[in-house]
Structure 1
Amino acid sequence: MALLTALAGTCIALAACDQQSLAELHEGVSTEADVRARFGEPERIWPEADGARTFEYNRQPEGHVNYMITLAPGGTLRQTRQVLVPENFARVQPGADMLGVRRLLGQPARKVTYELTRETDWDWKWLDGPTRAMVFTATFGPDGRVRRAGSHEDLPSAQ
């Protein structure tokens, strides 16, 4: 129980820190140094076609968000996005490839491979409203393409 309480406290603190850090960043003004000072090293840096770069900040498995922060070619903040939202989940359709899904949603909270079916599930934790914990799952076939995807409530496991 103490571990669960500590984990809950960490999640609340992380969410509060992220909100404060986001409030301190301003599009068109903040720089790469400002972003790194508030969020640290990105999980991954995605190059954009126009020379911009998108920094991926993963908050899984403890949190319920992932951020993509885009810097314009000149190094100023262009956009911040929390990407674990229903609009992005709707874009994960059968046939989508793993890299494209990772690019859209960020690092998943969990990856599980099922040898018999030769499928791999990627799970992301997210919130539907302020308190309803959900899990979005994308199931990939052996070809690395989405077979199916959807969300379900993240119910506490029985111990």
Structure 2
Amino acid sequence: MRGLTDVVRQGSLCTLLALASLLAACDVKNISELEEGVSTEADVRERFGTPEAVWEGEDGAQIYEYNRQPAGHVNYMITIGPDGRMAALRQVLTERNFAQVKPGMAMEDVRRMLGKPMKITTYALKRETHYDWRYLQGPNQSDSKVFTVVFDPDLRVINTMSGPDPDLERNR
């Protein structure tokens, strides 16, 4: 029976990796068709669809969140300026952004910075909640890692950590 479970897990991982590759290919094409300062909100929505969330930015801008978790390794934040044009498009699951997550930060601030996590796990006995984001620490799918933010019961950051993607580790 154990062998069957391993085959199912490996099949699920293959499906996730295939889906992630397909999304990445679509994203590359969609991004190449957009230009900062020229493309409009309608252009962004046509290529990326409805955002996962819309955040208020500075000076009347809106920040659209496009999430690629749990299968993908990226989350995009696209800023639409007050003039209705795309002001910025950035992939936010980066080491630089992870380094900005500090103890005491509120969960909503982390969520706004990194987008929706791939997984949220509550550990009642430890009185902690872990938010996990999958990201790449290199050019290949085998470079998949997980960034975890640990929150206290008030949803304030306690600490952070990065490690190997357990889905890849299980199937090696």
Return the TM-score normalized by structure 1. 0.96
Aligned to 1:134: 145
Matched, 1:158 2:167: no
Secondary structure of 1:18 counterpart? helix
Equivalence map 1:46-125=2 (5 Å): 46-125=55-134
User: C-alpha separation between the residues in 2 aligned to 1:112 and 1:90?
Assistant: 21
Match of 1:148 in 2: 159
Specify whether residues 119 and 128 from structure 1 end up closer, same or farther in structure 2 by C-alpha distance, changes over 3 A only: same
Shift of 1:5: 3.0
1:51-107 deviation digits (Å, cap 9, x = unpaired): 000000000000000000001101001000000000000000111110000010000
Greater fraction of residues in helix: 2
Structure 1, unmatched stretches of 5+, are none
* Structure of greater Rg: 2
Match of 2:40 in 1: 31
Residue 7 of structure 1 and its aligned partner are, at CA, apart by: 2.6
What are the superposed Cα offsets for residues 129-155 of structure 1, whole Å, 9 maximum, x if unpaired? 112110000000011100000211114
Partners of 1:35 and 1:120 lie apart in 2 by 34
In structure 2, list runs of 5 or more residues that go unmatched.
1-9
Deviations 1:21-50 (A, max 9, x none): 000000111000000000000000001130
Partners of 1:38 and 1:44 lie apart in 2 by: 16
The 2-side partners of 1:147 and 1:127 are apart by: 24
Q: 1:9: which partner in 2?
A: 18
The runs of at least 4 consecutive aligned structure 1 residues that moved more than 6 Å come to none
Q: For this pair of structures, how many residues does the alignment match?
A: 159
Segment drifting more, 3-12 vs 127-136: 3-12
**Structure 2 CA distance, aligned partners of 1:112 and 1:119?**
8
